[in-house]
Chain A
Amino acid sequence: GESVGLHLPTLSVQEGDNSIINCAYSNSASDYFIWYKQESGKGPQFIIDIRSNMDKRQGQRVTVLLNKTVKHLSLQIAATQPGDSAVYFCAEIPETGANNLFFGTGTRLTVIP
């Protein structure tokens, strides 16, 4: 399954499939990007981050891809599990040294057993 960030705020995938959640950003000077997962009634939980000098970073079952040319960030979740159901936010630091993270509005991922 695949979503296009702010324009498709929900994504449903079958358990075991791979998920791709997309995020567009507007500031070409943005230096640092983070993906967070938020489950109902809880605070955002850090998943993975990437700096602007990288185009790919892998974690456990997750991969973040950064395309600076088109200012696009994606989160790939391999073998999606029911426990992955949550809202996923991308966040960016607008410039080096800034003290604010700017968050997107999120994508709700629903895993269908």
Chain B
Amino acid sequence: NAGVTQTPKFQVLKTGQSMTLQCAQDMNHEYMSWYRQDPGMGLRLIHYSVGAGITDQGEVPNGYNVSRSTTEDFPLRLLSAAPSQTSVYFCASSEDLIGNSPLHFGNGTRLTVT
């Protein structure tokens, strides 16, 4: 199993550009989520999904959209990138609700917005 796969690994955007960060998992996990990691701030939840067709906001959702059309995929969209969105983004999945099973993370996308 590949686990959680994120693409691209690195991306540079100009302010105002849009892009989609891809996330796919092959473990048939129902729960998927996106976190951002900034120096000195730990990981913070952006959006999550408890199953196909269901998404909800996390701690820092502004500036990001998500959709969950299949169990496997959970893309994160930046509609108009801002320098404050420079960060490392991690996608994660778990078999069940995160209180019942641990999150498994991808290796991240490092995004720089200039």
Which A residues contact B (CB, under 8 angstroms)? Answer: 31-32, 34, 36, 41-46, 49, 89, 91, 93, 96-106
Contacts and interface: CB of A to CB of B under 8 A. Distances in A.
Contact of A100 (B4, B58, B90, B102): B58
Given A31-B99, A41-B108, A106-B42, 13 more contacts: A32-B99, A43-B4, A43-B92, A43-B108, A44-B90, A46-B102, A46-B104, A96-B99, A98-B99, A99-B31, A100-B45, A100-B98, A103-B42
Interface string B80-97: 000000000010100001
A49 B107 contact: no
A57 to B, nearest CB: 13
Kindly name the residue among B42, B59, B97 whose own CB sees the greatest number of chain A CB atoms within 10 A: B42
Contact of A43 (B45, B48, B90): B90
A103 B48 contact: no
B12 interface: no
Given A46-B103, A99-B56, A93 B108 contact: no
B27 interface: no
A81 to B, nearest CB: 22
A45 B31 CA distance: 17
Given A104-B42, A106-B42, A93 B99 contact: yes
B2 interface: no
A104 B43 CA distance: 8
Contacts of A49: 102
Contacts of B98: 32, 93, 98-101
Contacts of A31: 99
